[in-house]
Amino acid sequence: MSVSERSLSEHTVVETFVGRFDQHARQDFKWRIDHAIAQGYRFVALNMVAVSFIDSLALGWLVLAQRRFQRIGGKLGIIAPVGFVRDVLELTEINEWIPIFTSEDEAWKAFESLETLPSDS
Protein backbone atom coordinates (compact mmCIF):
# COMPACT_ATOMS: atom_id res chain seq x y z
CA MET A 1 0.00 0.00 0.00
CA SER A 2 1.21 3.47 -0.74
CA VAL A 3 -0.05 6.55 1.08
CA SER A 4 0.03 10.26 0.35
CA GLU A 5 -0.99 13.04 2.69
CA ARG A 6 -2.72 16.38 2.16
CA SER A 7 -3.53 18.85 4.90
CA LEU A 8 -6.94 20.50 4.64
CA SER A 9 -6.63 22.69 7.72
CA GLU A 10 -4.80 23.02 11.01
CA HIS A 11 -6.76 20.09 12.44
CA THR A 12 -7.71 18.00 9.37
CA VAL A 13 -5.65 15.83 7.04
CA VAL A 14 -6.52 13.44 4.20
CA GLU A 15 -4.48 10.27 3.85
CA THR A 16 -4.95 8.73 0.39
CA PHE A 17 -4.37 4.99 0.30
CA VAL A 18 -3.55 3.02 -2.85
CA GLY A 19 -3.37 -0.76 -3.04
CA ARG A 20 -4.13 -3.46 -0.50
CA PHE A 21 -4.95 -2.58 3.10
CA ASP A 22 -3.82 -5.77 4.79
CA GLN A 23 -1.30 -7.15 7.28
CA HIS A 24 1.58 -5.81 5.19
CA ALA A 25 0.29 -2.24 5.54
CA ARG A 26 0.24 -2.28 9.36
CA GLN A 27 3.47 -0.39 10.01
CA ASP A 28 2.72 2.33 7.46
CA PHE A 29 -0.85 2.77 8.76
CA LYS A 30 0.28 2.91 12.39
CA TRP A 31 3.02 5.41 11.52
CA ARG A 32 0.54 7.61 9.61
CA ILE A 33 -1.88 7.69 12.55
CA ASP A 34 0.90 8.35 15.09
CA HIS A 35 2.32 11.08 12.85
CA ALA A 36 -1.06 12.76 12.33
CA ILE A 37 -1.70 12.90 16.07
CA ALA A 38 1.84 14.14 16.78
CA GLN A 39 1.33 16.91 14.19
CA GLY A 40 -1.81 18.06 16.00
CA TYR A 41 -4.42 16.70 13.60
CA ARG A 42 -7.68 15.76 15.33
CA PHE A 43 -9.51 14.75 12.15
CA VAL A 44 -8.15 12.25 9.64
CA ALA A 45 -10.00 11.22 6.50
CA LEU A 46 -8.79 8.07 4.80
CA ASN A 47 -9.41 8.30 1.06
CA MET A 48 -9.87 4.66 0.06
CA VAL A 49 -11.12 5.06 -3.51
CA ALA A 50 -7.97 3.29 -4.80
CA VAL A 51 -7.90 0.51 -2.18
CA SER A 52 -8.59 -2.84 -3.82
CA PHE A 53 -8.62 -5.10 -0.75
CA ILE A 54 -9.11 -4.87 3.01
CA ASP A 55 -8.71 -7.67 5.55
CA SER A 56 -10.01 -8.21 9.08
CA LEU A 57 -6.79 -6.98 10.65
CA ALA A 58 -7.15 -3.65 8.87
CA LEU A 59 -10.73 -3.36 10.08
CA GLY A 60 -9.46 -3.75 13.63
CA TRP A 61 -6.80 -1.09 13.09
CA LEU A 62 -9.48 1.31 11.83
CA VAL A 63 -11.53 0.83 15.00
CA LEU A 64 -8.45 1.25 17.22
CA ALA A 65 -7.45 4.41 15.36
CA GLN A 66 -10.98 5.80 15.75
CA ARG A 67 -10.76 5.19 19.51
CA ARG A 68 -7.46 7.10 19.64
CA PHE A 69 -9.00 10.06 17.85
CA GLN A 70 -12.06 10.01 20.10
CA ARG A 71 -9.77 10.29 23.14
CA ILE A 72 -8.38 13.57 21.76
CA GLY A 73 -11.77 14.93 20.72
CA GLY A 74 -11.29 14.01 17.09
CA LYS A 75 -12.63 11.63 14.52
CA LEU A 76 -11.49 9.27 11.79
CA GLY A 77 -13.45 9.07 8.55
CA ILE A 78 -13.36 6.95 5.41
CA ILE A 79 -13.82 8.43 1.95
CA ALA A 80 -15.22 6.68 -1.13
CA PRO A 81 -14.55 2.98 -0.63
CA VAL A 82 -15.46 1.03 -3.78
CA GLY A 83 -16.06 -2.57 -4.83
CA PHE A 84 -14.87 -5.26 -2.45
CA VAL A 85 -13.73 -2.73 0.16
CA ARG A 86 -17.12 -0.99 0.19
CA ASP A 87 -18.86 -4.37 0.47
CA VAL A 88 -16.72 -5.44 3.45
CA LEU A 89 -17.25 -2.12 5.22
CA GLU A 90 -21.01 -2.37 4.69
CA LEU A 91 -21.18 -6.00 5.85
CA THR A 92 -19.24 -5.24 9.02
CA GLU A 93 -21.29 -2.08 9.65
CA ILE A 94 -18.08 -0.14 10.28
CA ASN A 95 -20.04 3.06 9.61
CA GLU A 96 -21.51 2.67 13.10
CA TRP A 97 -17.99 3.44 14.40
CA ILE A 98 -16.45 5.44 11.60
CA PRO A 99 -18.33 7.77 9.24
CA ILE A 100 -18.09 6.96 5.55
CA PHE A 101 -18.18 9.88 3.13
CA THR A 102 -18.73 9.93 -0.62
CA SER A 103 -16.08 12.60 -1.27
CA GLU A 104 -13.27 14.58 0.30
CA ASP A 105 -15.49 17.65 0.15
CA GLU A 106 -18.21 15.91 2.18
CA ALA A 107 -15.65 14.79 4.77
CA TRP A 108 -14.12 18.28 4.91
CA LYS A 109 -17.52 19.89 5.55
CA ALA A 110 -18.35 17.39 8.31
CA PHE A 111 -14.98 17.80 10.02
CA GLU A 112 -14.95 21.59 9.55
CA SER A 113 -18.13 21.82 11.61
CA LEU A 114 -16.41 19.86 14.39
CA GLU A 115 -13.12 21.83 14.34
CA THR A 116 -14.55 24.60 16.46
CA LEU A 117 -15.47 22.22 19.29
CA PRO A 118 -13.06 21.99 22.23
CA SER A 119 -10.70 19.02 22.00
CA ASP A 120 -11.83 17.63 25.35
CA SER A 121 -15.50 17.24 24.39
Percent helix, strand, coil in the chain, to 5, is 45, 30, 25
Tally of domains in the chain = 1
Assess contact for 60 and 92: CB atoms under 8 A: no
Q: pLDDT digit string (tens) for 91-116? A: 999 999 999 999 999 999 999 888 76
DSSP class of residue 82?
-
Residue 83 belongs to domain spanning: 2-115
pTM: 0.89
* CATH number of the domain residue 59 falls in: 3.30.750.24
- Is 59 among the domain residues? yes
Q: pLDDT digit string (tens) for 11-26? A: 999 999 999 999 999 8
Distance, C-alpha 61 to centroid of its chain: 10
- Is 121 among the domain residues? no
Strands 2-7 and 12-21: antiparallel
- Is 86 among the domain residues? yes
Q: pLDDT digit string (tens) for 53-85? A: 999 999 999 999 999 999 999 999 999 999 999
